């Protein structure tokens, strides 16, 4: 028995087959899955009375870009332009040089997706409201991408102060820059390289293997698979992939949105139960606007804040994760959530 234990505790170096990044799985540090459970990340000290998201209709009428109820009484979700945008929808200008540096105007879109209830988070939404959340992401994704100055539409969500959220009230962000972000470009380049060599989508290959192997699968429904990636950069990292090949999130079919919403809610419910409401970030990776990206496979990545990246991770880009992805998946599979 001792040799079995030792074998399991030897650290491993694993490579992400898409980006080629290496990670260290160092279970020898002795952390068991339940040890990642901490203090709940939900921001508790922000009261409804002083919340800027309580009445988006009266305060921000001109900047509303999506709402699910025309009467404006029974709304459950709206999208507004961010009052303090990181990027602004202004006319693009040429990149200019200043000594060794390149600069351009911060052109693009920055919107906020706001759910109605001050005290509900994504795992608490009704199935219908979770589907409306996905519908809003998707409609805004397609609409913003039509803009000439936009090259990429990035949908993200922060939960808890440790994940960078400053407000308690459930909201996601859509940031659409005029260039393709570096990490996305790397992921696109790698999948293109694999495709041109093997005439196959690397993500479809991974999905097929994961669904057969089952060790890292957390949950699945008819259309989506939820699993812990083989070379997780962060303990309890979770990926959600459409089972059928689709290169752009904009191609998500209306009838499949409920399945994506279900997969997202299940993943977040399980995280909350298993790790006592950890802080997390999630985002969608999808194809950029220009070029042919049929080789790409859009997906969502969820990163719970199970550790802080320190000097080693920042300096090397080679993270150390203290739980085996198979053990993390097993722990999450076992987390009991409502049907
Ligand atoms: Zn609120
Ligand atoms: Zn694929």
Name the DSSP letter for residue 107. B
Q: How far is the CA of 34 from the centre of ligand 2 (A)?
A: 33
Q: How far is the CA of 299 from the centre of ligand 2 (A)?
A: 10
- Ligand nearest the Cα of residue 298 is 2
Contacts with 200 (C-beta within 8 Å, 6 or more apart), sequence order: 194
Domain ranges for the chain: 51-177, 182-334
Same CATH topology for 51-177 and 182-334: the answer is: yes
State the Cα–Cα distance between residues 261 and 149, nearest whole angstrom.
Answer: 30
- Ligand nearest the Cα of residue 194 is 2
Q: Which helix (H) or strand (E) holds 141?
A: helix 127-145
Q: Which CATH architecture has domain 51-177?
A: 2-Layer Sandwich (3.30)
178 neighbors 103 (Cβ within 8 angstroms): no
Q: How far is the CA of 207 from the centre of ligand 2 (A)?
A: 8
What does the pLDDT profile of the chain (339 residues) look like in tens digits? 444 444 556 788 999 988 888 999 888 666 788 888 888 888 888 899 989 888 887 765 568 888 887 667 788 899 998 888 888 888 777 888 999 998 888 888 999 999 999 999 999 999 999 999 999 999 999 999 999 889 999 999 999 999 999 899 999 999 999 889 998 999 999 999 999 999 999 999 999 999 999 999 999 999 999 999 999 999 999 999 999 999 999 999 999 999 999 999 999 999 999 999 999 999 999 999 988 899 999 999 999 998 888 888 889 989 998 899 999 999 999 999 977
Domain 182-334 has CATH 3.30.428.10: yes
- Ligand nearest the Cα of residue 299 is 2
Q: Report the pLDDT value the prediction gives residue 146, as an integer from 0 to 100.
A: 94
Q: How far is the CA of 223 from the centre of ligand 2 (A)?
A: 13
Collapsing DSSP to helix, strand or coil, 33 comes out as: helix
Q: How far is the CA of 322 from the centre of ligand 1 (A)?
A: 36
Q: Report the pLDDT value the prediction gives residue 1, as an integer from 0 to 100.
A: 42
Q: Report the pLDDT value the prediction gives residue 30, as an integer from 0 to 100.
A: 63
Q: How far is the CA of 60 from the centre of ligand 1 (A)?
A: 15
- For 4-43, b/e burial (b = at least 16 CB within 10 A) is eeeeeeeeeebebbbeebebbbbbeeebebeebeeeebbe
State the Cα–Cα distance between residues 245 and 294, nearest whole angstrom.
Answer: 9
Q: How far is the CA of 229 from the centre of ligand 2 (A)?
A: 16
Question: What does the block give as tokens for 124?
Answer: 């608490």
- Ligand nearest the Cα of residue 50 is 1
Q: How far is the CA of 54 from the centre of ligand 1 (A)?
A: 5
Q: Which of 179, 214, 22 is nearest to 104 (CA)?
A: 179
Q: How far is the CA of 170 from the centre of ligand 1 (A)?
A: 8
- Ligand nearest the Cα of residue 242 is 2
Question: What does the block give as tokens for 188?
Answer: 């696109």
Q: How far is the CA of 229 from the centre of ligand 1 (A)?
A: 34
Q: How far is the CA of 292 from the centre of ligand 2 (A)?
A: 14
State the Cα–Cα distance between residues 244 and 254, nearest whole angstrom.
Answer: 15
Between helix 325-334 and helix 257-275 the angle, nearest 10°, is 100
């Amino acid at each position: 028995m001792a040799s079995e234990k030792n074998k399991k505790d030897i650290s491993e170096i694993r490579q992400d087959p898409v980006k080629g990044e290496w990670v260290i799985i160092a279970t020898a540090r002795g952390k068991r899955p339940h040890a990642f459970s901490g203090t709940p990340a939900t921001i508790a000290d922000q009261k409804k009375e002083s919340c800027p998201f309580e009445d988006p209709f009266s305060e921000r009428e001109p900047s509303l870009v999506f709402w699910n109820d025309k009467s404006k009484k029974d709304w459950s979700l709206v999208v507004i332009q961010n009052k303090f945008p990181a990027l602004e929808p202004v006319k693009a200008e040429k990149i200019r040089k200043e000594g060794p540096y390149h600069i351009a105007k911060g052109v693009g879109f920055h919107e906020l997706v706001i759910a109605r209830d001050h005290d509900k988070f994504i795992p608490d939404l009704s199935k219908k409201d979770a589907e409306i959340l996905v519908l809003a992401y998707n409609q805004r994704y397609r609409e913003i991408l039509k803009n000439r100055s936009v090259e990429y539409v990035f949908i993200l969500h922060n939960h808890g102060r440790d994940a960078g959220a400053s407000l308690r009230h459930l909201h996601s962000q859509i940031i659409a820059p005029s260039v393709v972000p570096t990490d996305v470009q790397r992921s696109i380049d790698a999948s293109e390289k694999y495709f041109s060599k093997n005439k196959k989508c690397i993500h479809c290959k991974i999905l097929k293997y994961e669904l057969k192997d089952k060790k890292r699968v957390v949950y699945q429904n008819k259309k989506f698979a939820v699993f812990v990636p083989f070379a997780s950069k962060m303990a309890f990292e979770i990926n959600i992939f459409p089972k059928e090949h689709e290169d752009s999130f904009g191609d998500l079919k209306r009838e499949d949105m409920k399945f994506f919403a279900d997969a997202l809610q299940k993943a977040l419910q399980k995280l909350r139960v298993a790790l006592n409401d950890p802080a997390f970030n999630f985002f969608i990776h999808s194809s950029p606007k220009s070029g042919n990206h049929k080789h790409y496979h859009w997906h969502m990545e969820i990163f719970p804040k199970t550790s802080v990246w320190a000097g080693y991770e920042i300096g090397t880009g080679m993270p150390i994760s203290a739980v085996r992805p198979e053990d993390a998946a097993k722990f999450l599979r076992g987390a009991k959530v409502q049907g």
